[in-house]
Chain A
Amino acid sequence: MTDALFTGLSALALYAGWRVFRVDSMVRASFWLMISFIAVGGIGLLLSAPYIGVATVFMMAVEMTVMVLFMVMFMMNPAGLNPMMMVHQHRFSIGVGVVAFAGMTAATLLTDLPSNPVAAGKAIVHDLGIELLGDSMLIFETAGVTLLATMVAAVILSARTGRFGDAVEGSVPPGLEPGGTPAGRVPEKSGGHHHGHGGHDHGSHGDGRSDHAHHHEGDGHDSGGHDHAGDKEKHA
């Protein structure tokens, strides 16, 4: 029974992990990764790690949801249903994958793995708590505070009133084909009036910006606007 469950969960983890790299959407990739982790959590339960196994499931559920939202926000791909290429650096990643797989397989096969089953009456969760708040406290607290700082930073970066001015300024959706016109609504020609107001928020481009805005809308933008500038030239 345990062997069958282990085989099934391992197969699910591997299949879901493989799907992560084959699907064409960030949302699908994230949730395939979540399924892979849930299978690993199930294996954790089989290995008599009831807390870590179950905690893996809920941590991954929350984490993948947050990851999906942030990826969709930062990639400016509406909803993540637009097909997109999810892999890059093919040769390098294939090489790394082969080396990592060979290394880990070798490590697994060559190591003399111990076999000491957990005693039936052992207070596993209790012992884990003692470990986490005892010898390993420094490690876990450091990791926790680092993660918290990362989350706060991510929220600040994604906030509408961000460090680089209002988030609406200069955000242009990606084209439906490489170098194509931006997806979604095309900004109106009279947008220059609007940008003139934007200049007051962060004056790095000076007052000249609003003068040029009617002719080269893209020039005044931050890094996000470069694709847009190219499109405008084509239209002209």
Chain B
Amino acid sequence: MSLAAFPFLAFFLALGAALVVVLDAVARAALAGAPAGPYLAGTFRHAAMRLSGQLVTTEAPDRANWRLAPAWYGALAAAGLAVVPFGEGMALIQLPTSIVLWGAVEALVVVVVFLHGWSPNAPFPLIGAYRYVATGLPVMLPSMFVLIGAALPARSLDVLAIVESQREMWNVVRQPLGLPLFLIVGLSLTLRGPMDYADSADLAGGSSAEDSGPARAMWQAARLAMLVAFSAMAATVFLGGYLGPLLPGPLWLALKTALVLELMVAATHLLPRMPVSRMVTFLWVVLLPVSFLHLLAAGLVAL
């Protein structure tokens, strides 16, 4: 693929983000038993308020990192999506180790969210940043195990080969624990729902508590972009990516991405949220052994 891929990837991210905005409003309305219209209008009103709002600053912040954090986050989302193949041999970044590149994107998200919370030089964002590292780093381990597990049947670290290995059977069938574990990783990557520890309401906004005006809108937009990139990756690794009959590959990938987005939005609004200390214990004591067993099972099946 060539330079023409860039506007296409941007369009894909924007379309996915718009879908999430709608889904979020619908989910909130359904839980409240109210029509979705006002919720959706509220989202747009909120965005317009942010975009036209004033940029307020704190005392002695690390201005460069604070302003750049949404850009880093968005860039990571774009880099993650660039690894995803939209058809046979149609990935912007083609590497024999492209799944490891996605892992690098995940690891750098932890850095970016930490910097975003650290740079305003204020208590709530900093607590959010520390919380995120405490939960985000242990989530990296299940993520690596899940991705290695998905690479086993393909006998390759290339995402293209991982998709091709699912021609007979999707990974979601032969590795049933993989997708649920990976969805938890995605919730952590996008600071959503039960893994919402960086930007949570109990910290008055956490790492974005001091963000104001367009900066805050940009951060939210970057979170949505990362959610879309993650969902495309999950659809690729577990739901066969672009594979499918009749329809062209990119459309299949878009449909499967939309399905994962719906799962993610449902998880955001339906799953309970634990206190951060209990979640850290859960991640180390339950999730890590489970993901290890998952890797063992995936290895035995692949043999």
Contact = CB atoms under 8 A, between A and B. Distances in A.
B107 interface: yes
A81 B62 contact: yes
B100 interface: yes
Contacts of A62: 107, 110, 137, 140
Contacts of B62: 25, 28, 81
The prevalent SS among residues of A at the interface is helix
A167 interface: no
Interface in B103-126: 103-104, 106-108, 110-111, 114-115, 118, 121, 126
B130 to A, nearest CB: 8
Interface in B132-159: 133, 137, 140, 157
Interface residues of A, number: 24
Given A51-B157, A61-B110, A81 B133 contact: no
Nearest to B64: A28
A65 B137 contact: yes
A57 interface: yes
Nearest to B155: A126
B111 A34 contact: yes
B104 A58 contact: yes
Contacts of A68: 114
B107 A58 contact: yes
A183 interface: no
B60 interface: yes
Nearest to B157: A125
A81 to B, nearest CB: 5
A54 interface: yes
Contacts, number: 65
Given A62-B140, A66-B137, A69-B133, 6 more contacts: A50-B95, A50-B96, A54-B95, A61-B110, A69-B130, A81-B60
Interface of B: 60, 62, 95-97, 100-101, 103-104, 106-108, 110-111, 114-115, 118, 121, 126, 130, 133, 137, 140, 157
B118 A124 contact: no
A49 to B, nearest CB: 10
Nearest to A55: B100
A57 B104 CA distance: 6
A81 B114 CA distance: 13
Contacts of B106: 58
A27 B137 CA distance: 17
Contacts of A69: 130, 133
B101 A54 contact: yes
B97 A54 contact: yes
A27 B95 contact: no
A62 B144 CA distance: 12
B121 A65 contact: no
A81 B118 CA distance: 8
A176 interface: no
A117 B141 CA distance: 35
Contacts of A31: 111, 115
A180 to B, nearest CB: 18
A79 interface: yes
Given A65-B137, A81-B121, A51 B97 contact: yes
B118 A51 contact: no
Contacts of B104: 54-55, 57-58, 61
A80 interface: yes
Given A65-B133, A79-B118, A54 B111 contact: no
Interface in A12-57: 25, 27-28, 31, 34, 45, 50-51, 54-55, 57
Contacts of B126: 79
Contacts of B107: 57-58, 61-62, 65
B206 to A, nearest CB: 15
A117 B231 CA distance: 38
Contacts of A45: 95
Interface string A64-81: 111011000000000111
Interface string A138-165: 0000000000000000000000000000
Given A61-B110, A65-B114, A124 B121 contact: no
Nearest to A66: B137
Contacts of A125: 96-97, 157
A58 B103 contact: yes
